[in-house]
Amino acid sequence: MKAHDMTEWHRAQLDAQQAHARDHLDRRTADARTFGTTAPAGDPDDPEMKLWNLGGYWAMLFCIWFAFIAPIVLVLTLWD
């Protein structure tokens, strides 16, 4: 149904659904803000996070090597 085809009943129902969704979103936002103020602070020197970041760095280098350098090396070794 297009917006210009809506009857007053459809418009009222759509407005009610939007108001309900907006109220739900506002409640969830308020809950998240409350939780954010009471949540404990994270450890900036988390060793597990450092490990994940380091692993991601080396995985990225491997993927770049595999995607760009490995085909060149393969072609050069098979060329002879």
Residue-wise pLDDT for 10-58, tens only, equals 889 989 999 999 999 999 999 999 998 888 877 778 888 888 888 999 9
Match 């149904």 to its residue by tokens. Answer: 1
Q: What length is written for the chain?
A: 80
**Other C-beta atoms within 10 Å of 70: how many?**
12
Residue type, 10: H
Lowest mean pLDDT among 2-11, 50-59, 63-72: 2-11
pLDDT bin (cut points 50, 70, 90) of residue 74 is confident
Supply 23's token pair.
């109220």
Residue type, 13: Q
Whether the CB-CB separation of 35 and 27 falls below 8 Å is answered with no
Average pLDDT of the segment spanning 65-71? 89
**Other C-beta atoms within 10 Å of 14: how many?**
13
The whole-angstrom separation of Cα 64 and Cα 61 is 5
